[in-house]
Amino acid sequence: MTNIFSLFGALALLYSSVMAFSTFDETHALLRMLNSKNATVILFFIAGFFFLPFVITLTQLGLNGDQGKSLVEGEPSLESKERHKQLAEHCPTWQYVWKGSITSIGVIMIAFTLFGNRIDPSCAFFSAISFLSGYWFVFVYPTARKLFG
């Protein structure tokens, strides 16, 4: 079963790299086709295909902040925080990948504002969420499943 998740993660990482390259380069004919308005919807569904299993497995393992009861409305539960700490001990790079993926989306949006059409923010977003999912399934999910599943 782990091989299926690793293969899925590898495909998500491959898709992420194509989207990252497509974010900045529109000179290649294939990449111009990916940056067309008609392709954006298809690329969105492909990114969703890679991202949805990540969200589902994250929730199933109790790492989603909305799971359980918290002391303050809208804050992650204590159990979820504890699981994140435990996962960070076993996979220390995960917290950097998580924060880096979220930060990269903001940086790309700022770059798009500054440089205009030379950067495609939708491809950057698709790249970030696919990378997050791919990294999760290749490197983190097997450990998280052993710890919490």
pLDDT at 8: 95
Task: Provide the domain count of the chain.
Answer: 1
H helical segments located in the chain: 2-24, 29-34, 37-60, 78-90, 93-115, 121-135, 141-148
Rounded Cα distance, 24 and 117, in Å = 9
Q: pLDDT tier at 104 (50, 70, 90 boundaries)?
A: confident
Closest residue by Cα to residue 50 from 111, 113, 135: 135
pTM: 0.82
Convert the pLDDT of each residue in 13-61 to its tens digit: 999 998 888 877 666 666 666 666 778 888 899 999 999 999 999 888 8
> Where in the sequence is the domain holding 96, given as residue range(s)?
3-67+75-148
How many other C-beta atoms can be found within 10 angstroms of the C-beta atom of residue 106? 10
Identify whether the C-beta of residue 115 lies closer than 8 Å to the C-beta of residue 31.
no
